Amino acid sequence: MTRLILRRLLALPALLVATSLLTFLLLEAAPGSFFLRLSEDPAFPPELIQALEARYGLDQGVFVRYGRWLVAALSGDFGPSLTYGVSTTSLIVERLSNTLLLTGVALVIAWGLAVALGITGAVTRGRWPDRLVSVVTFGGMSTPRVLLALLLLWFAATSGVLPTGGMRDLVRWDRMSTGQRWADLAAHVALPALAVALPAGARIARQLRATLIEALGQPAILAARARGLSGPRVVLGHALSWAANPMITLLGYSVGGLLAGSFLVEVVFAWPGMARLTVEAVLTGDEPMVLASVVLATTMLTLGNLVADLWLVARDPRQGRAPEASS
């Protein structure tokens, strides 16, 4: 397991350099620049634009700039945002917990939903509950996340049951008790988390159903049934355990999928997370901000996958061994 961790951690810097370099080159290839936009404003004459470009090192060659950024990034300094003039790290930290909250709630909903639907489909294979699960999961997978988010927003607006966006009731928040704040936060996170979770949950549910059906046909499960174990005990205690490994692998991927999905939903629901900051940075060409966001997202995805792999190895140590050379 130690070797697995070391191997993954050693690969991380190379992955980060590759993704950041690719991002940097893509930003370079895009027309215009951050300060070109400022030149629309008569208060920014060409001399001032040049001074600003020099101040942020944008008058240097592409690879010189990337090299400088990389050296600074190695010491944890991702540079100042061109838009806000303050450290990108401080801007990201302010929003990261909000994105993690949304993704975390969505993860719980997606997996809760997937387990319920997957088991139902598997144990009622071929009967109407299974067919209903298939229709629901097919619908969940086929509906674009943005459309789903807009539909949920429309529901909120017409029903008045849940808030229409944001993360809290900003006007009354300061006067709420802690309990009221919990309730308010839960009400605000419900719909965006559903929008993030439903497509992912549907996908996982289909996967889980197929794996469980396979598991239920295994000799060990048949033996368990023959010993007289109850249906729920066979499914929850034995079949689910048998199906756990591929599901754990899927967990690593689902974290990445949910994180990416939450970016779209954050924009629709005005959720104050990383998405708006990153999207705005991409649109305006705020290079340091985009690079810092990409590095952070890559790190989170890699670490998410690492955690899933470690869990897998902990359950089944054979998964951590290197394949033996065949003679």
Partner 1 sequence: MPCRAVVLSLLTLFLAGCQACSDAPAPEGRTSAERVPNPPFVEPLPAGAWTVEDIEPGRHGGDLVLAVTASPRTFNPLMGSDGITVEVVHIPMYAPCWRFDYVKQAGGPGLCAQAEQSEDGLTWTFTLREGLRWSDGQPLTTDDVAFTWQVLMDPEVPAPGRSLFEQGKTEEGKPRYAGFEQVDPLTFRITLYEPIASFPLMMSSVRWVPKHTLHKVWKAGRFTEALGVNTPPEQVVTSGAFRPVKYRADEQVVLERNPHFWQVDSKKQRLPYLDRVIFLVVPDQSAAFLKFRQGETHAWNVPTDHYDRLVREAPEKGYLVHELGASLNTAYLMFNLDPGLDDAGQPVVDPIKRGWFERLGFRQAISHALDREGMVRSVLHGRGEPLCSFISPGNVRWAPPPHPTCTFDLDKSRALLAAEGFVERDGKLHDPEGHEVTFSVVTNAENSVRVHLLNVIKEDLARLGISVRVRPVPFNELLAALKTHRRFEGLVLGWGTAVPPDPALFKNVFLSSAPNHFWHPSQKTPARPWEAKMDTLAIQVNTLVDEQARKKASDELMALFSTQQAQTMLVVEQAYAASRSELGNFKPTPLRPRTHWNIEQLYLKSLPR
Q: Are the C-beta atoms of residues 311 and 248 closer than 8 Å to each other?
A: yes
Q: How far apart are CB 76 and partner 1 at their closest, in Å?
A: 16
Nearer of residues 202 and 240 to partner 1, judged by Cβ? 240
Task: Using alpha carbons, select from 251, 264, 246 the residue that is nearest to residue 303.
Answer: 251
CA gap 209, 59 in Å, rounded: 57
Tell me whether residue 11 or residue 93 sits nearer to partner 1 (CB atom): 93
Question: Which of 16, 88 has the CB closer to partner 1?
Answer: 88
270: alpha, beta or left? (left if phi > 0; alpha if psi -120 to 50): left
In terms of CB distance, is 76 or 228 closer to partner 1?
Answer: 76
Residue 302: count other Cβ atoms within 10 Å of its Cβ.
Answer: 19
CB of 66 to partner 1, least distance (A): 20
What's the DSSP call for residue 61? -
Q: Which tokens sit at 111? A: 């997996």
User: CB of 170: closest distance to partner 1 in angstroms?
Assistant: 5
- Amino acid of residue 188: H
> Least distance from C-beta 117 to partner 1, angstroms?
14
Q: Please state the length of the chain.
A: 327
- Residue closer to partner 1 by CB (options 95, 295) is 95
Contacts of 96 (CB under 8 A, 6+ apart): 273, 274, 296
Euclidean distance between CA atoms 105 and 110, whole angstroms: 9
Question: Any residues with CB less than 8 A from the CB of 116 and at least 6 apart, and which?
Answer: 205
For 184, the token pair is 């308010």
Nearer to partner 1, 77 or 280 (CB): 280
